[in-house]
Amino acid sequence: MTTRPFYVTTPIYYVNGKPHIGHAYSTIAADVLSRYARVRGAESWFLTGTDEHGQKIERVAAEQGLPPQEFTDRMIPAFRSCWETLSCDTDDFIRTTSKRHQDFAVEMWKRCEASGDIYLGEYEGWYSVADEAFYTEKELVDGRAPTGRPVERVKEPSYFFRLSNYTEKLLAFYEANPTFVRPEGRFNEVKSFVREGLRDLSVSRTTFRWGIPVPGAPEHVMYVWFDALSNYVSALGGDDTDAYRKFWSPNGRAMHIVGKDILRFHAVYWPAFLMSAGLPPPAQVWSHGWMTVNGAKMSKTEGNFLPPEPIAEAVGTDALRYYLMRDIAFGQDGDFSHANLLARYHGDLGNGLGNLLNRMVSSIVARSFEGRVPDADPRTLHGLEAELVQTAERAARRAGAHLDDSEPHRALEAVWELVGAANKYVDQTEPWQLAKRGETARLAEVCYAVLESLRWLATMLWPFMPGKADEIRAQLGLTPLLPTVGLDAWPSAWGGLTPGARTRPGAPIFPRFDEDQQRSIYARLGAPLPDALKASGDVAAARKSAPKNAEPRPKAPEKTPVQDAATASTVTPTTAAATPADGTITIDDLVKVDLRLGLVKAAVRVPKSDKLLELTVDLGESGERTILAGIGKHYEPEQLVGRRITVVANLAPRAMMGRMSHGMVLAVSDDQGLSVLSPDKEITPGVKVK
Ligand code: ME8
């Protein structure tokens, strides 16, 4: 792993529609790599943004009866809040309509012109507005673009970029930089395209106005790709800034993550523009594959663009991130399937990782060691522990190597070897039997080994599931991971947990969804219901209509509320064993939830989040605590200070945006807005809600 400063970018997305799961895939991948670089001790800068010019945007704005600038301004919040919901910790967001961007695009143009690479001519040929790309007659398939989108005949005066000058230069550059494009197969396609000889590229348009005016020829606007590609340097403030010198070549490692649809723009045009402007190309272009959804292509005509946020709300952001990074081999085409998502949720996450944590922290350690990290010398390694440590070391080595290679799916496979090994270790060592037999010293060694494995897992999983990794850490009694702190770095030394430290047993981190909940998830997400759920759905329905004292409902595993960070609402927990069949709950269920009145002492916005507020809440005798609430779009922090609110006081601590929340604020919402629940008298803080 190199600790060179890392600069990772996503494509800047067109704002003609809201972000969908394909966009989310690229952005989450970039976030994983950025976070990974940080836990390896490198400085990382993660850029995303929006591509706002061009004919496509101009047309959509016109369809909506809005000036293009107003239209794009209205679209931006959807992108920002989507990345926030998906825990993508971006460092910058570049808009091509911003001044800083336009200034640099003009500068790029002037430099290419000064190199003699831009000349005036006339373009006659085909153009696809949907692709924002020119096509030759030869490239068309049945009168359409190779992407299947419609094309239009265009004839207009145009500036051209002398791409034909760059055939040899690019081939030499590729030769000298054998990992410039990954995966290798796609690099080969790029090389053969260039080897065929490059034709000059039309880089300005005159038949519409929504773009950056060409310097000295304002009747032309720049071709949207010339404009857009410049974002990767305009966002660094141009080439004469500390950020540029740190993150761009040769000092930094600049990596563009793109879908295979736009590889040619990034691997051919962009390096040629940069060379012409006298700047070095980026270090790497990583081209991932194309995703279908439940086997179907997403398209405007089908109207089946899948929005990521409802999925994150239904199963949790981290489960979605995990699924995307694990199930779809990075670089290859793949399919997003709701059924596979839930299978991974219940299998890898619930049964594998969640269960390991739960049976150790909430069960054995809580009971046998009063919830403290047992006092065992981590250096005493018997056969089974030695094997476990070796597996952990191998997992960290392999996962690291795969992430160095930007292969997140393989990294997760390697991490899951440790999940599997730690679960097997628990089965083999049978800690429950050790406890029963009073073999406390041995039990301490076993528990320590499992807890320490969980600490390693939390660090390795932090790039993928930052929230859940911090929840695991909270249960282990650790603070949220700070990648700059030594012990929090990518794991390498066994024995980081301090004996005697207090663990914090919490709710299962991936609670099971019973069949009814699964059906409701499919329904809410508009996803096709798998046959297995269809069949048992009839049985469940029959059971529901059966008399109450007939057959009891099947016993479901224990559940906990599933928190929704955005609205602080919950999916109602069910504890079937004690729950009457008609869906009502008993008083025993109700008293499990510790509802209390709190007084807000302080409130601030969480940086980089427009939703989250950090509240300091006085709970009387229980003291003050920090609660994060997703109500920042509805309240200014000052409005809440001094206000009495209702909170769930016994919810397991939960990490959001790198901070811990110790409770949940109750609120109600409808189309009119959101309102926190408050009493109408000055009731003493800390009293129970009854
Ligand atoms: O092309 N599967 O923007 P765009 C996987 N503005 N990834 C997908 C996907 C899918 N089905 N659909 C979209 C543009 N993506 C230009 C980029 S960059 C200087 C300018 C992802 O909104 C993938 O990363 O059409 C793809 O390259 C990108 O979104 C296209 O986004």
> Could you tell me if the CB of 13 is within 6 A of ligand 1?
yes
pLDDT at 406: 95
Report d(CA 54, CA 23) in Å as an integer: 19
The residue-averaged pLDDT of 567-595 equals 52
Q: Which of 8, 12, 25 to mutate to test the pocket of ligand 1 (most atoms within 8 A of CB)?
A: 25
Residue whose Cα lies nearest atom 30 of ligand 1: it is 13
Top pLDDT among 542 and 280 is at 280
Confidence of residue 582 (pLDDT cuts 50, 70, 90): low
Confidence of residue 546 (pLDDT cuts 50, 70, 90): very low
Report d(CA 325, CA 586) in Å as an integer: 41
The residue-averaged pLDDT of 236-252 equals 98
Return the minimum-mean-pLDDT range out of 3-17, 47-61, 544-558, 578-592. 544-558
Q: pLDDT digit string (tens) for 445-501?
A: 999 999 999 999 999 999 999 999 999 999 999 999 998 766 678 998 999 999 999
Residue whose Cα lies nearest atom 16 of ligand 1: it is 13
pLDDT at 512: 96
Report d(CA 294, CA 352) in Å as an integer: 25
Structure tokens at 616: 């300091």
Structure tokens at 94: 């570049």
Report d(CA 269, CA 263) in Å as an integer: 10
Report d(CA 599, CA 613) in Å as an integer: 15
- Which string of DSSP letters, residue by residue, matches 323-355? HHHHHS-TTS-EEE-HHHHHHHIIIIIIIIIIH
pLDDT at 639: 86
The residue-averaged pLDDT of 265-279 equals 98
pLDDT at 357: 97
The CATH H-level (homologous superfamily) assignment of domain 6-288 is HUPs (3.40.50.620)
Top pLDDT among 176 and 558 is at 176
Distance 260 CA to ligand 1 centre (A): 9
* Alpha-carbon distance values, 476 to 310, 365, 599 (Å): 30, 10, 29
pLDDT at 68: 98
> Could you tell me if the CB of 291 is within 6 A of ligand 1?
yes
Q: How many CB atoms lie within 10 A of CB 147?
A: 14
pLDDT at 535: 67
Confidence of residue 583 (pLDDT cuts 50, 70, 90): low
Ramachandran region of residue 427, left (φ > 0), alpha (ψ -120 to 50) or beta?
alpha
> Could you tell me if the CB of 432 is within 6 A of ligand 1?
no
On whether the CB atoms of residues 540 and 556 are closer than 8 A, the answer is no
Exposed, middle or buried, 58 (CB in 10 Å: 0-12/13-18/19+)? buried
pLDDT at 88: 98
Domain spans in the chain, listed from the N-terminal domain onward: 6-288, 337-538, 557-690
pLDDT at 553 over 50: no
Percent of the chain topping pLDDT 90: 77
Q: Which atom of ligand 1 is nearest to the CA of 10?
A: 24
Topology classification of domain 337-538: Isoleucyl-tRNA Synthetase; Domain 1 (1.10.730)
pLDDT at 588 over 90: no
On whether the CB atoms of residues 44 and 6 are closer than 8 A, the answer is yes
Residue whose Cα lies nearest atom 14 of ligand 1: it is 13
Q: Which of 10, 12, 13, 335 to mutate to test the pocket of ligand 1 (most atoms within 8 A of CB)?
A: 13
pLDDT at 352: 97
**CA 143, 146, 152, 156: dihedral to nearest 10 degrees?**
-120
CA angle 268, 271, 272 (to 5 degrees): 80
User: Among 343, 60, 37, 97, which Cα is nearest to 231's?
Assistant: 97
pTM score above 0.85: no
Query: How high does pLDDT run on average in the chain?
Result: 90
Q: Which atom of ligand 1 is nearest to the CA of 232?
A: 19
Structure tokens at 233: 């340097």
Return the minimum-mean-pLDDT range out of 185-199, 447-461, 652-666. 652-666
Report d(CA 73, CA 416) in Å as an integer: 43
Q: Which atom of ligand 1 is nearest to the CA of 229?
A: 19
pLDDT at 93: 98
> Could you tell me if the CB of 22 is within 6 A of ligand 1?
yes
Report d(CA 341, CA 324) in Å as an integer: 8
Structure tokens at 412: 């997760």
Confidence of residue 520 (pLDDT cuts 50, 70, 90): very high
> Could you tell me if the CB of 51 is within 6 A of ligand 1?
yes
pLDDT at 608: 84
Report d(CA 604, CA 500) in Å as an integer: 34
Top pLDDT among 586 and 436 is at 436
Exposure class string for 575-600: b at 16+ Cβ within 10 A, else e: bbeebebeeeeeeeeeeeeebbbbbb
Provide the strand spans (E) within 374-471.
Answer: none
Report d(CA 64, CA 213) in Å as an integer: 24
Q: Which atom of ligand 1 is nearest to the CA of 270?
A: 19
pLDDT at 565: 31
DSSP structural state of residue 664: E
Return the minimum-mean-pLDDT range out of 346-350, 384-388, 424-428, 578-582. 578-582
Distance 60 CA to ligand 1 centre (A): 18
Return the minimum-mean-pLDDT range out of 225-239, 573-587, 610-624. 573-587
Distance 13 CA to ligand 1 centre (A): 6
Q: Which of 8, 26, 256 to mutate to test the pocket of ligand 1 (most atoms within 8 A of CB)?
A: 26
Residue whose Cα lies nearest atom 7 of ligand 1: it is 22
Q: Which of 83, 261, 304 to mutate to test the pocket of ligand 1 (most atoms within 8 A of CB)?
A: 261
Report d(CA 669, CA 306) in Å as an integer: 25
Report d(CA 620, CA 684) in Å as an integer: 8
> Could you tell me if the CB of 505 is within 6 A of ligand 1?
no
Q: Is the peptide bond before 250 cis (omega within 30 degrees of 0)?
A: yes
Distance 25 CA to ligand 1 centre (A): 10
> Could you tell me if the CB of 160 is within 6 A of ligand 1?
no
pLDDT at 409 over 60: yes
Number of H helices, E strands in the chain: 25, 27
Tokens 């030499």 belong to 172
The CATH H-level (homologous superfamily) assignment of domain 557-690 is Nucleic acid-binding proteins (2.40.50.140)
